[in-house]
Structure 1
């Protein structure tokens, strides 16, 4: 399958292609890739080159604004923003950019990233999120020891153009069996949908049809959050040996990450203390910044540790990689964050401490709590989550059911769904995905 080729992102590009990409000559880089793919003698490079060509095709969508456009967008809200201030925000890593057409272009959500840091971008309109209900829910969870939510959601995906007469395949994520979820029910779905097994690593409902342009599924499930203070666990002397391996291309034990993990856990013997030190570093030093499609990212964990910027999945992969380096089993979990008033994609991590078992770490929420001065909330998300979730995925970079033969929009995770027409996977501009909360009840 095509998407298996992403493991080759760890292979270096030929220097002439890498130089073209670095200078923003995307067309030149694609031309050199095509020349190499058409020539004999380097079949070992073919998958790496095909993946890179796809990334070059999609890159301009993630970084659509040149400098003049970006400044105009900022000044529409913050008229006094000078070019020097703009450059300072770029230099500080608050604005993400890539070279396209030999000039810098800026991330499509750079304004949303800037709004998170009012001290550095004081002229922008700030989006305040009321955390009162979350704080009350977390307090109730800590007091009660556990909370269960009954949640009903409807998800959909459709093509933006009419696929009449063509073969269409669609995959939508649905709740998976996991420690937090039970009583999973499919209440309604577009006819013909086939559900993957409840323990599928990326669980979906799948359709194959001709000419249909839209697919929906409605499901209900129980999601249970259990509270524990991880620091009260007395770890077993011998810890398990599963979920400790590298998983290319993004869980890689680079020399930098090995050195970082060694420094952060130096002198610590308890795996709980080690995990807490890693969590404190990730949530204390990495700031949230919206990311391009993960397809565009290289060596996610190492890059995050060097840039100290990331989104929820990037935070999770860094924590998972550091845990595995120091011998703590860790793995991925993702799906949706389901607030009573909103639904959206979210990722987090799991780590294992014997004899207790699996614990959770939401480093993105922990970093957000640090940014907002919420010490208790930051502590909560080391070891614990909340009942506002839908878990669809238990592995990063796992196949769908059945595997998608065309290029996926996201080859690593599946939170909003995938759509394929006549064997070609559709990218974001070609499709529309929805998640709608129908009911939310804390039991």
Structure 2
């Protein structure tokens, strides 16, 4: 199953960043979000007066403020211009969309969903708008919206069968072949297009990585790159693809039952695995207090990590999120709202583990099931007795939601073989370095492109991931 982002109807490449953006902004500016806007601009932004707030940012930037403040203002300005593109459904339109499936749905029920944080919203120039995929988010919890068509349950039995097999055999191996592609059809003749597509990276789960085919004149980042990708530079090509194969080996051990890995990965944690990585992995006062409460009385690092996992999987509900560039301090916001998606939950687990003295780090790439392929994020943590292990908080939270306690426990210490790991650090640089502003300044799962040094937005690219093969018989690969 392909995951595709669709171009705008005219297929044109927009001149600079979001519509109307004339300020140079780059991915590194987003590292300065926690500097904060001046209070006069922040009040406009929080009240939803985005047009006035953007104009105030322009006036401030004309005064050449201190570099870190200027970076924050550029990033915040960009976020405000992007916000209406994703929070695009008005209150009346949202109610009408629900009534198309659930005619009896009332305005009072809509307001109740807003009050209970079931629908993500923003005020934009005095009017409430909700996230464009709010219906998909509501379907995750069908009991709350009984009149809507529920989320598809296709594939659940197949997934659970695979997990049971993994547990009975103490692990599984799969050989996976994927094809990734990106195109920028709106680029004009003579313009230089650069493209990056994520590929499997060498890590403790993945090995035997082979590039089987790729668009000519491309290059591949080193196998240990933090955001591994194939890349191209061309003034003629507008479409790029790479096909690769890798082996993924996942062991299983029942951490809740007291078992420890038989072959632990004892690679020493790095200093960055225990420190802040602001603005999103930030040791805020609330996260410090929450973590202290969750791990109170626990001295063993494994017990601490498990307590954090238990708290998050039992309290944080899965909700679709806007692009992460629109989010504030991701881990702190999740701890306050108890809402998030896979990456939000992973960052919160990582942050709390680090506060608790447990080294933890990011992993992301794809979830590769036989019937679907899509972006996914999770985490790793380290204890002296286990070495590096995985935790997938969002899958654990989903298991709790579905009443599958065995599966919730599975995803502490274990993953599954339906993965592709491309990234081991949040907000890692691409190789070679991206020019301009990335579509996703934090992660690389679907690919990026730029035209004459200006980063392309989602609506300007066609991106696709195809599953070519997923097999367990290793002899078939040779």
Counterpart check, 1:50 vs 2:80: no
Structure 1 residues 178-257: aligned runs within 5 Å: 178-231=203-256, 232=258, 242=271, 243-257=273-287
Q: 2:419 aligns with which of 385, 389, 392?
A: 389
Please report the RMSD computed on the Cα atoms of aligned residues, expressed in angstroms: 1.6
Please report how far the alpha carbon of residue 356 of structure 1 lies from its aligned counterpart in structure 2 after TM superposition. 2.5
Counterpart contact for 1:180–1:225, Cα < 8 Å:
yes
The answer to whether 1:350 aligns with 2:380 is yes
Q: Give CA-to-partner distance per residue, 1:422-442, whole Å, 9 cap, x none.
A: 111111111121001011112
Match of 1:138 among 139, 143, 163: 163
Q: TM-score, structure 1 length as denominator?
A: 0.97
Give the distance between the partners of 1:234 and 1:228, measured in 2 at CA: 6
Gaps of 5+ in 1: none
User: What 5-or-longer segments of structure 2 have no aligned partner?
Assistant: 1-24, 474-478
1:377 offset after TM fit, Å? 0.6
Deviation at 1:160, TM superposition (A): 4.4
- Structure 2 counterpart of 1:432: 462
Alignment of 1:117-196 (within 5 A): 117-130=141-154, 131-196=156-221
The normalised TM-score by structure 2 is: 0.90
Contact 1:163–1:211 (CA under 8 A) maintained in structure 2: no
In the other structure, the counterpart of 1:265 is 295
Provide the C-alpha distance between the structure 1 equivalents of 2:277 and 2:55, rounded to a whole number of angstroms: 31
- Quote the residue 1:104 is aligned against: 128
Distance 1:440 1:43 in 2: 49
Q: Does 1:19 align with 2:26?
A: no
1:376 equivalent in alignment to 2:376:
no
Q: C-alpha distance in 2, partners of 1:347/1:200?
A: 17
Deviates more, 1:327-336 or 1:59-68: 59-68
Structure 2 residue 111 is the aligned partner of structure 1 residue 87: yes
Q: Would the aligned equivalents of 2:200 and 2:422 in 1 still touch at CA under 8 Å?
A: yes
Shift of 1:62: 1.2
- In structure 2, the CA distance between the partners of 1:35 and 1:120, relative to structure 1 (3 Å rule), is same
Determine if contact 2:187/2:451 at 8 Å carries over to the other structure. no
Whether 2:137 is the aligned partner of 1:113: answer yes
CA contact (8 A) 2:282 2:351 kept: yes
**For residues 21-70 of structure 1, what are the alpha-carbon distances to aligned partners after superposition, in whole Å with 9 as ceiling and x for unaligned?**
12222111111111111124544421111111211121111111011111
Distance in 2, Cα, partners of 1:162 & 1:325: 46
> Alpha-carbon deviation of 1:233?
5.4
SS at match of 1:21: helix
Which residue of the partner structure matches residue 60 of structure 1? 84
Task: For residue 162 of structure 1, report the CA deviation from its aligned partner.
Answer: 3.6
Q: CA deviation at 1:271?
A: 1.2
In 2: Cα distance, 1:240 partner to 1:156 partner: 34
1:355 deviates by 3.3
Aligned residue pairs total: 441
Structure 1 residue runs of 4+, over 6 Å off?
none
Residues of 1 paired with 2:394 and 2:231: CA distance? 30
Aligned partners of 2:253 and 2:260 also within 8 Å: no
Once the two structures are TM-superposed, the CA of residue 146 in structure 1 deviates from its matched residue by 1.6
